[in-house]
Chain A
């Protein structure tokens, strides 16, 4: 049994995705049910699909001292860090606690593999990387976290979690453990993944990419749309910010079933959910909103809908927001955590964009259209390849389970 957890304060958070850059743009897209998906204009060779591309990443210039880190993924990270006063909040935390007392824990699935792909597309005459690509640090999966550590001047524990599509949910768990043990006083968590050929052609090879905008939980859904996103949150002890929303719990589990297909009965997903509820001291009936993993793959949505139907009462609201952003892979955990936090802050349950003809397996819990209602407790589900599952639980300040 997991230990019940002392809640943590989420003292700052921000997100950038195809919905827009920063929380105001994200809320506006959600409120107006406006999808950020567009026909694929990214891959190096044609591929018929829709993507969740972030505008303006190409125009980002990293500060001179960080120029060696330049690549699409780190540009998106820099773009994302600069929103919602996040840099300033981290600067304050660094001043308050010391640079060595703030952990940096980031999730990513492919980090800056796009830069390695580019290096292979233009190898020099003797078959090696071109001179401008001879930057070993960006050709490693730790590229993102190492770049952000340099950008934020943090000197505490620094770790990349790369468990495919659960990556940037699991960083909340690592952060909570480090805070609980007194290793640090604050943690910057989050994640970034950018569009690249590896994921576009990789998911295409697995026949999981939809030729049309993805339709989560729709009876006629035919696969995912891939997106990109950056998101960050600052976690501190509740005493430091009693009015901030809370991380109430988290759950982690393994399916032990298959590398690229979920467990048919959702065994791992349910273990992660129960772990999160136990840790948060919550009964399922106290959950107001669940941001589902809801990728629009045939199998994920079927298994996840069945889990919602058996684990929650009809009054709990559930939706997938992949129709707004596409599946942002390793960034999905943090992106959807920020949507869950906005649901609490603004009383907005986002609808399941693209779910026009509900799959009959979906229960009464599903929000197909936006709903305005008070949300005290919100969960976020994230499931990844390798059967890697995570569930996060958030609540408004002052909520007592």
Chain B
């Protein structure tokens, strides 16, 4: 199979330690960036939505907004793939606890925010986007599988695609099960053709067999252990640096080999 080639036009990033992609660059260059505020600003959302939106939505929208701004693309026509291994764990914890005690008291708003596509739903509403949008997951391979889905859409449909991948920290008894210790969100804008906004060329190829984790320096390796969406960090580090090759999991028994070349 020939490799899929896409072009990265924008990058977004948010974690408790990193406010954006520039902060990751600074960290990898040996400085310690100032940590961002606790709540992602998610400026794409109108103020009333921003106040009410759950953390999972703020996180995904913040990362997505950064990537789209960097790309200069019009969000109203940008197809969207939003990935998350666990969705909104705080709402899952709330729903399961409420259903165990007083099911008739379940909050209707929290219920409609519990759908896996809540973040991409809020994103399309806030940005006025009528393009196809999807919400996907694949456990620890959620980023790799989401990247494959986004790249396939960009190439098969010959249109730019926004990929976001984010998970918040676990809550309540569920936290022990998911092992998510802190939030992490990232986003990429991928285009089928090179253009003025191209940051890097990215080639994707499927590799049979389970992918082994690409070595990462601390604190990145610890972040990856504590959040499935941070499985994207080897790719983000290549983008921040001089490109290179890494392999991410696209499924339990399938690797996604990534070759990246920066475009000056």
Contact = CB atoms under 8 A, between A and B. Distances in A.
Interface stretch (A253-261, A294-302, A366-374): A253-261
B222 interface: no
Given A129-B176, A182-B1, A386 B100 contact: no
Contact of B139 (A134, A142, A163): A142
A177 B159 CA distance: 13
A43 interface: yes
Contacts of B2: 182
B37 interface: no
A31 interface: no
Contacts of B220: none
Interface stretch (A11-19, A74-82, A114-122, A283-291): A114-122
Contacts of B113: 259
A376 to B, nearest CB: 27
A160 B81 CA distance: 12
A94 interface: no
B85 A142 contact: yes
Interface stretch (A21-29, A198-206, A313-321): A198-206
A206 B108 contact: yes
Nearest to A122: B100
Given A129-B173, A140-B85, A385-B112, A145 B99 contact: no
Contact of A386 (B115, B139, B152): B115
A157 B115 contact: no
State which size class the interface on A falls in: 35 or more
B132 interface: yes
B128 interface: yes
Interface string A38-52: 000001110100000
Contacts of B149: 159, 174
Which of A2, A100, A176 has most chain B Cβ within 10 Å?
A100
A181 B127 contact: no
A361 interface: no
B107 interface: yes
Interface string A99-142: 01000000001000100110111010001110000101101111
A333 interface: no
A157 B132 contact: no
B136 A387 contact: no
Which of A3, A176, A201, A268 has most chain B Cβ within 10 Å?
A201
Contacts of A100: 206, 208, 254
A2 B179 CA distance: 41
A170 interface: yes
B157 A183 contact: no
Contact of B145 (A158, A176, A198, A254): A158
Nearest to A207: B108
A123 B175 CA distance: 14
Contact of A256 (B92, B106, B128, B152): B128
A207 B177 CA distance: 32
Contacts of B248: none
Contacts of A354: none
Given A158-B145, A181-B152, A206-B112, A254 B132 contact: yes
A120 B175 CA distance: 12
Given A119-B173, A177-B152, A256-B124, A198 B137 contact: no
A119 B121 contact: no
The 5 closest A-B pairs by CB, nearest first: A386-B121, A162-B116, A202-B111, A252-B132, A120-B96
23 contacts: A2-B157, A100-B254, A117-B96, A117-B100, A137-B139, A139-B174, A142-B138, A155-B208, A158-B141, A159-B138, A161-B134, A161-B135, A182-B1, A197-B103, A202-B112, A203-B111, A205-B107, A206-B112, A252-B134, A254-B121, A254-B131, A256-B124, A384-B117
Interface of B: 1-2, 4, 80, 85-87, 92, 95-97, 99-100, 103-104, 106-108, 111-118, 120-122, 124-125, 127-139, 141-142, 145-146, 148-149, 152-153, 155-158, 173-174, 176-179, 206, 208, 250-254
Given A181-B152, A183-B1, A201-B111, 11 more contacts: A117-B99, A142-B138, A156-B251, A157-B250, A157-B251, A158-B141, A163-B133, A163-B135, A177-B152, A254-B129, A386-B135
